[in-house]
Amino acid sequence: MSCRELVETITEYLEGSLPRADLDRFESHLQICDGCRHYLSQMKTTVAALRSLCDDRLQAAQRDELVNLFHGWKRG
């Protein structure tokens, strides 16, 4: 897996929805790439921070809309 592929699949990884074959490639890449390990760490920190801010303030429909917008933006 390349760094670009890892960036493109990181959301699925964090959600636990990455297919097994891709998961193995993702984790193998992390073993050899300091930059991607750092990127994953930053993403985990960002997600945790956003969860702590958003969980109490957003209703489920608003949260779902934001997630859908993010996924649409990601697909480009």
DSSP codes of every residue in 46-72: HHHHHHHHHTTTS-HHHHHHHHHHHHH
- Identify which has the larger pLDDT, 59 or 64: 64
Find the mean pLDDT for residues 43-60: 76
Residue 48's pLDDT is what? 86
Q: What is the pLDDT of residues 1-28, one digit of tens each?
A: 999 999 999 999 999 999 999 999 999 9
Task: Check pLDDT > 80 for residue 38.
Answer: yes
Q: Are 59 and 31 in contact (CB under 8 A)?
A: no
Which CA distances in Å does 74 have to 28, 32, 55, 59? Answer: 24, 25, 22, 23
Tell me what percent of the residues of the chain surpass a pLDDT of 90: 58
| Structure confidence at residue 71 as a pLDDT band (50, 70, 90) | confident
